[in-house]
Amino acid sequence: MNFIRKIVQSQSQEDSELYFELKNLLHFSPRNLYHYKKAFTHRSTQEFDKKGNPINYERLEFLGDAILGSVISAYLYKQVPSGSEGYLTKMRSKIVSRKHLNELGKDLDLIRFVKSNIVEAHISDNIYGNIFEALLGAIYLDKGYNTCQKFIYNKVIAPYVDIQKLEGKITSYKGLIIEWCQKQKKKYKFDTYEDSGNETVKHFSVRVSIDGEQVAKGRATSKKKAEEQASRRVYYALQNQISLSS
Protein backbone atom coordinates (compact mmCIF):
# COMPACT_ATOMS: atom_id res chain seq x y z
CA MET A 1 0.00 0.00 0.00
CA ASN A 2 2.90 2.36 0.71
CA PHE A 3 4.19 1.69 -2.80
CA ILE A 4 0.82 2.63 -4.34
CA ARG A 5 0.52 5.71 -2.12
CA LYS A 6 3.95 6.96 -3.25
CA ILE A 7 3.01 6.49 -6.91
CA VAL A 8 -0.28 8.36 -6.54
CA GLN A 9 1.24 11.22 -4.55
CA SER A 10 3.87 11.80 -7.25
CA GLN A 11 1.26 12.09 -10.01
CA SER A 12 -1.03 14.81 -11.30
CA GLN A 13 -4.77 14.57 -10.67
CA GLU A 14 -5.29 13.40 -14.25
CA ASP A 15 -2.65 10.69 -13.95
CA SER A 16 -4.01 9.57 -10.59
CA GLU A 17 -7.46 9.11 -12.10
CA LEU A 18 -5.97 7.14 -15.00
CA TYR A 19 -3.95 5.03 -12.57
CA PHE A 20 -7.02 3.91 -10.60
CA GLU A 21 -9.12 3.33 -13.73
CA LEU A 22 -6.39 1.14 -15.16
CA LYS A 23 -5.97 -0.68 -11.86
CA ASN A 24 -9.68 -1.54 -11.89
CA LEU A 25 -9.52 -2.65 -15.51
CA LEU A 26 -6.28 -4.61 -15.39
CA HIS A 27 -6.59 -6.01 -11.85
CA PHE A 28 -2.99 -5.11 -11.10
CA SER A 29 -1.14 -1.89 -10.29
CA PRO A 30 0.51 -0.33 -13.35
CA ARG A 31 4.07 0.87 -12.75
CA ASN A 32 4.76 3.18 -15.68
CA LEU A 33 1.76 5.18 -16.90
CA TYR A 34 3.73 6.46 -19.89
CA HIS A 35 3.29 3.16 -21.75
CA TYR A 36 -0.49 3.22 -21.24
CA LYS A 37 -0.86 6.90 -22.14
CA LYS A 38 1.03 6.17 -25.36
CA ALA A 39 -1.21 3.15 -26.02
CA PHE A 40 -4.25 5.41 -25.89
CA THR A 41 -2.85 8.22 -28.07
CA HIS A 42 -4.10 8.47 -31.66
CA ARG A 43 -1.70 9.63 -34.38
CA SER A 44 -4.03 12.58 -35.12
CA THR A 45 -2.65 14.32 -32.00
CA GLN A 46 0.71 14.60 -33.82
CA GLU A 47 2.70 14.34 -30.59
CA PHE A 48 6.45 13.69 -30.60
CA ASP A 49 9.03 12.94 -27.94
CA LYS A 50 12.30 14.86 -27.43
CA LYS A 51 14.03 12.78 -30.11
CA GLY A 52 11.32 13.50 -32.66
CA ASN A 53 9.75 10.05 -32.47
CA PRO A 54 5.94 9.98 -32.81
CA ILE A 55 3.93 9.31 -29.66
CA ASN A 56 0.97 7.14 -30.61
CA TYR A 57 -0.29 3.61 -30.22
CA GLU A 58 0.84 2.16 -33.58
CA ARG A 59 4.16 0.62 -32.49
CA LEU A 60 2.57 -0.75 -29.32
CA GLU A 61 -0.21 -2.21 -31.48
CA PHE A 62 2.43 -4.08 -33.49
CA LEU A 63 3.99 -5.42 -30.29
CA GLY A 64 0.67 -6.39 -28.72
CA ASP A 65 -0.43 -8.21 -31.88
CA ALA A 66 2.70 -10.39 -31.75
CA ILE A 67 2.24 -11.20 -28.05
CA LEU A 68 -1.44 -11.99 -28.47
CA GLY A 69 -0.64 -14.32 -31.35
CA SER A 70 2.01 -16.16 -29.34
CA VAL A 71 -0.22 -16.62 -26.28
CA ILE A 72 -3.18 -17.86 -28.33
CA SER A 73 -0.92 -20.15 -30.37
CA ALA A 74 0.53 -21.74 -27.22
CA TYR A 75 -2.96 -22.17 -25.75
CA LEU A 76 -4.31 -23.90 -28.87
CA TYR A 77 -1.20 -26.07 -29.18
CA LYS A 78 -1.76 -27.42 -25.66
CA GLN A 79 -5.56 -27.67 -25.83
CA VAL A 80 -5.80 -29.41 -29.22
CA PRO A 81 -2.94 -31.95 -29.40
CA SER A 82 -4.46 -33.56 -32.49
CA GLY A 83 -4.81 -30.28 -34.41
CA SER A 84 -2.80 -29.91 -37.61
CA GLU A 85 -0.82 -26.78 -38.43
CA GLY A 86 -3.57 -25.64 -40.79
CA TYR A 87 -6.28 -26.25 -38.19
CA LEU A 88 -4.38 -24.37 -35.46
CA THR A 89 -3.70 -21.44 -37.81
CA LYS A 90 -7.36 -21.20 -38.78
CA MET A 91 -8.51 -21.34 -35.16
CA ARG A 92 -6.02 -18.68 -34.12
CA SER A 93 -7.24 -16.45 -36.95
CA LYS A 94 -10.79 -16.75 -35.68
CA ILE A 95 -9.79 -15.73 -32.15
CA VAL A 96 -7.62 -12.77 -33.19
CA SER A 97 -9.81 -11.62 -36.09
CA ARG A 98 -10.23 -7.87 -36.42
CA LYS A 99 -13.96 -8.21 -35.78
CA HIS A 100 -13.37 -10.11 -32.54
CA LEU A 101 -10.69 -7.71 -31.32
CA ASN A 102 -12.99 -4.76 -32.04
CA GLU A 103 -15.67 -6.44 -29.93
CA LEU A 104 -13.16 -6.94 -27.10
CA GLY A 105 -12.13 -3.30 -27.24
CA LYS A 106 -15.78 -2.24 -27.08
CA ASP A 107 -16.55 -4.60 -24.20
CA LEU A 108 -13.69 -3.06 -22.22
CA ASP A 109 -14.82 0.46 -23.22
CA LEU A 110 -11.26 1.38 -24.17
CA ILE A 111 -12.44 4.36 -26.23
CA ARG A 112 -12.90 6.30 -22.97
CA PHE A 113 -9.12 6.46 -22.62
CA VAL A 114 -8.32 7.52 -26.18
CA LYS A 115 -6.72 10.89 -26.85
CA SER A 116 -7.54 12.00 -30.39
CA ASN A 117 -8.17 15.08 -32.52
CA ILE A 118 -10.81 13.20 -34.51
CA VAL A 119 -14.47 13.26 -33.49
CA GLU A 120 -15.40 9.86 -32.06
CA ALA A 121 -18.29 9.45 -34.51
CA HIS A 122 -15.81 9.64 -37.41
CA ILE A 123 -13.35 7.09 -36.03
CA SER A 124 -13.34 3.64 -37.63
CA ASP A 125 -14.51 0.67 -35.55
CA ASN A 126 -11.05 -0.82 -36.03
CA ILE A 127 -9.70 1.58 -33.41
CA TYR A 128 -11.21 -0.65 -30.70
CA GLY A 129 -9.09 -3.63 -31.78
CA ASN A 130 -6.05 -1.46 -32.41
CA ILE A 131 -6.22 0.02 -28.92
CA PHE A 132 -6.72 -3.41 -27.38
CA GLU A 133 -3.53 -4.67 -29.03
CA ALA A 134 -1.68 -1.50 -28.03
CA LEU A 135 -2.83 -2.05 -24.43
CA LEU A 136 -1.28 -5.54 -24.54
CA GLY A 137 1.95 -3.99 -25.75
CA ALA A 138 1.88 -1.50 -22.88
CA ILE A 139 1.24 -4.26 -20.33
CA TYR A 140 4.18 -6.24 -21.71
CA LEU A 141 6.56 -3.27 -21.44
CA ASP A 142 5.29 -2.35 -18.00
CA LYS A 143 4.92 -5.74 -16.28
CA GLY A 144 6.44 -8.38 -18.55
CA TYR A 145 5.26 -11.38 -20.55
CA ASN A 146 3.75 -13.42 -17.72
CA THR A 147 1.45 -10.61 -16.60
CA CYS A 148 0.43 -9.97 -20.20
CA GLN A 149 -0.24 -13.67 -20.71
CA LYS A 150 -2.45 -13.75 -17.61
CA PHE A 151 -4.39 -10.69 -18.78
CA ILE A 152 -5.01 -12.31 -22.19
CA TYR A 153 -6.22 -15.47 -20.51
CA ASN A 154 -8.62 -13.57 -18.22
CA LYS A 155 -9.95 -11.15 -20.84
CA VAL A 156 -9.81 -13.20 -24.04
CA ILE A 157 -9.46 -16.94 -23.53
CA ALA A 158 -11.58 -17.64 -20.45
CA PRO A 159 -14.66 -15.58 -21.44
CA TYR A 160 -14.61 -15.96 -25.23
CA VAL A 161 -12.69 -19.01 -26.44
CA ASP A 162 -14.89 -22.08 -26.89
CA ILE A 163 -13.07 -24.38 -29.30
CA GLN A 164 -16.17 -26.33 -30.38
CA LYS A 165 -18.09 -23.15 -31.18
CA LEU A 166 -15.08 -21.61 -32.92
CA GLU A 167 -14.79 -24.61 -35.24
CA GLY A 168 -18.16 -23.71 -36.76
CA LYS A 169 -17.67 -19.94 -36.73
CA ILE A 170 -17.34 -18.20 -40.08
CA THR A 171 -15.04 -15.18 -39.95
CA SER A 172 -15.02 -14.40 -43.68
CA TYR A 173 -17.86 -15.41 -45.98
CA LYS A 174 -15.87 -14.25 -49.00
CA GLY A 175 -12.95 -16.45 -48.03
CA LEU A 176 -15.29 -19.40 -47.47
CA ILE A 177 -16.98 -18.95 -50.88
CA ILE A 178 -13.64 -18.65 -52.70
CA GLU A 179 -12.27 -21.74 -50.92
CA TRP A 180 -15.42 -23.73 -51.74
CA CYS A 181 -15.33 -22.69 -55.41
CA GLN A 182 -11.67 -23.66 -55.70
CA LYS A 183 -12.29 -27.08 -54.14
CA GLN A 184 -15.29 -27.69 -56.40
CA LYS A 185 -13.42 -26.34 -59.46
CA LYS A 186 -16.06 -23.67 -60.02
CA LYS A 187 -15.37 -20.31 -61.64
CA TYR A 188 -16.27 -17.33 -59.48
CA LYS A 189 -16.34 -13.59 -60.09
CA PHE A 190 -16.80 -10.56 -57.82
CA ASP A 191 -17.98 -7.65 -59.95
CA THR A 192 -17.55 -4.52 -57.82
CA TYR A 193 -18.67 -1.05 -58.89
CA GLU A 194 -19.46 2.33 -57.36
CA ASP A 195 -23.17 2.75 -56.71
CA SER A 196 -23.73 5.99 -54.79
CA GLY A 197 -26.78 7.28 -56.67
CA ASN A 198 -27.99 10.52 -55.10
CA GLU A 199 -26.47 9.72 -51.72
CA THR A 200 -23.73 11.91 -50.28
CA VAL A 201 -21.90 8.90 -48.79
CA LYS A 202 -20.08 6.75 -51.34
CA HIS A 203 -21.53 3.24 -51.75
CA PHE A 204 -20.34 0.17 -53.62
CA SER A 205 -22.30 -2.73 -55.05
CA VAL A 206 -21.04 -6.24 -55.74
CA ARG A 207 -22.42 -8.98 -57.96
CA VAL A 208 -21.16 -12.49 -57.24
CA SER A 209 -21.34 -14.99 -60.09
CA ILE A 210 -20.49 -18.68 -59.99
CA ASP A 211 -19.97 -20.56 -63.24
CA GLY A 212 -21.30 -17.55 -65.12
CA GLU A 213 -24.56 -17.30 -63.16
CA GLN A 214 -25.26 -14.42 -60.78
CA VAL A 215 -26.02 -15.79 -57.31
CA ALA A 216 -26.25 -12.71 -55.07
CA LYS A 217 -25.61 -8.98 -54.71
CA GLY A 218 -24.41 -6.78 -51.87
CA ARG A 219 -24.22 -3.05 -51.24
CA ALA A 220 -22.33 -1.13 -48.55
CA THR A 221 -20.14 1.91 -47.87
CA SER A 222 -16.90 0.08 -48.70
CA LYS A 223 -15.86 -2.53 -51.25
CA LYS A 224 -14.85 -4.96 -48.53
CA LYS A 225 -18.18 -4.69 -46.69
CA ALA A 226 -20.15 -5.02 -49.92
CA GLU A 227 -18.18 -8.13 -50.93
CA GLU A 228 -18.68 -9.69 -47.50
CA GLN A 229 -22.42 -8.94 -47.56
CA ALA A 230 -22.81 -10.45 -51.04
CA SER A 231 -20.71 -13.48 -50.04
CA ARG A 232 -22.89 -14.06 -46.98
CA ARG A 233 -25.95 -14.09 -49.24
CA VAL A 234 -24.22 -16.55 -51.55
CA TYR A 235 -23.49 -18.78 -48.57
CA TYR A 236 -27.11 -18.86 -47.45
CA ALA A 237 -28.31 -19.41 -51.03
CA LEU A 238 -25.97 -22.38 -51.48
CA GLN A 239 -25.71 -23.50 -47.85
CA ASN A 240 -26.89 -27.07 -48.49
CA GLN A 241 -24.37 -27.62 -51.30
CA ILE A 242 -21.54 -26.08 -49.29
CA SER A 243 -22.37 -28.13 -46.17
CA LEU A 244 -22.55 -31.41 -48.11
CA SER A 245 -19.15 -30.83 -49.70
CA SER A 246 -17.35 -29.72 -46.54
Task: Name the pTM for this structure.
Answer: 0.70
Any idea what DSSP says for residue 112? G
**What one-letter code names the amino acid at 49?**
D
- Where are the domains positioned within the chain? 12-167, 173-245
Rounded Cα gap, residues 142 and 147, in angstroms:
9
- Third-level CATH fold of 173-245: Double Stranded RNA Binding Domain (3.30.160)
- Third-level CATH fold of 12-167: Ribonuclease iii, N-terminal Endonuclease Domain; Chain A (1.10.1520)
What pLDDT does 3 receive?
44
| Catalytic-labelled residue, pool 133, 142, 227, 228 | 133
What pLDDT does 160 receive?
87
Cβ(181)–Cβ(187) below 8 Å: yes
Residue 36 CB neighbour total at 10 angstroms? 25
135-173 core/surface letters (b: 16 or more CB in 10 A; e: else): bbbbbbbbbeeeebbbbbeebbbeeebeeeebeeeebbb
What pLDDT does 189 receive?
94
Residue 190: φ, ψ to 5°: -105, 105
Which residue ranges of the chain lie beneath pLDDT 50? Answer: 1-4, 6-9
Give tens-digit pLDDT for 182-215: 989 999 999 998 887 767 788 899 999 999 999 9
Rounded Cα gap, residues 159 and 127, in angstroms:
22
Rounded Cα gap, residues 87 and 31, in angstroms:
39
| Catalytic-labelled residue, pool 14, 61, 65, 103 | 65
Active site residue 133: yes
What pLDDT does 7 receive?
46
Give tens-digit pLDDT for 133-159: 999 999 999 999 999 999 999 999 999
What pLDDT does 4 receive?
46
What pLDDT does 41 receive?
95
